[in-house]
Amino acid sequence: METVSIKDKNFRLSITAEEIEKAVSEVAQRINHDLKDTNPLFICVLNGAFMFAADLMKHVDLPCEISFVKLASYEGTSSTGKIKEMIGLKEDITGRTVVVVEDIVDTGFTMQNILDSLQKKGAKSIHVCTFLQKPEALQCDICVDYVAMKIPNEFIVGYGLDYDGYGRNLKAIYTLI
Ligand code: IMP
Ligand code: MG
């Protein structure tokens, strides 16, 4: 599929499923290397990161756990900067090596909010792994340790990312035309 229509918008193919697979495997290998001798807790940020987290975990060969938090900030195609926590973290992360798994770091407000809340909970170290980053859109002073792919400051859907709830099931990434 070269283009897809979701609701009132059209999107063109910009990153293929094969390119995604390669980038996800590469970022997992970096984590395997850097975090060897730890038993990390991966924290997947729902909803958007569900597909990335699932694929990433298949390539991680460390003894590890995964848990989920749910946040919402986007309305339509622009970041509101207001973040609501819908499901919080139940695990005790004291002394743990934590890897936050996100779909995309855009302005960075969501990630900053997550990091602020995790930093109070006594983790040994906190790492950030995002599938996508829009470096031009970043407005926060956060350190993103692992980025599978960098993209221009454009609205995209697919591979877990949505436009008004739709498009998360697409295997590839599509950019708004
Ligand atoms: P931030 O707080 O501006 O960094 O936005 C982060 C959240 O906004 C991500 O976790 C996504 O869920 C969502 N988001 C950012 N850019 C896009 C996009 O291009 N398409 C779909 N969702 C996006
Ligand atoms: Mg997200």
Continuous segment of H or E residues that includes residue 65:
strand 65-75
From atom 13 of ligand 1, which residue's Cα is the shortest distance away? 74
pLDDT tens string 9-57: 999 999 999 999 999 999 999 999 999 999 999 999 999 999 999 999 9
Question: What pLDDT does residue 89 have?
Answer: 85
Q: What is the pLDDT of residues 56-84, one digit of tens each?
A: 999 999 999 999 998 766 556 666 566 66
Fold topology of 17-151? Rossmann fold (3.40.50)
Q: Report the range of poorest mean pLDDT among 22-36, 108-122, 143-157.
A: 108-122
- Ligand 1 atom nearest to CA at 134: 16
pLDDT value of residue 2: 95
DSSP 150-171: E--SS-EEBTTB-BTTB-TT-S
92: pLDDT strictly greater than 80 = yes
The verdict on the CB of residue 108 being under 6 Å from ligand 1 is: yes
Domain ranges of the chain: 17-151
Statement: residue 172 has pLDDT above 80: yes
Q: Quick one: which atom of ligand 1 is closest to the CA of 137? A: 3
% of the chain exceeding 90 in pLDDT: 82
Task: Establish whether 37 is a catalytic residue.
Answer: no
CA distance 127 to 137: 20
Residue 127: per-residue pLDDT: 98
The contacts found for 135-139 with CB under 8 angstroms, 24 or more apart, are: 137/106, 137/107, 137/108, 138/105, 138/106, 138/107, 138/108, 139/107, 139/108, 139/109
Determine if ligand 1 sits within 6 Å of the CB of residue 55: no
Mean pLDDT of all residues belonging to the chain? 93
Catalytic residue among 55, 103, 106, 116: 106
Q: Which atom of ligand 1 is nearest to the CA of 154?
A: 19
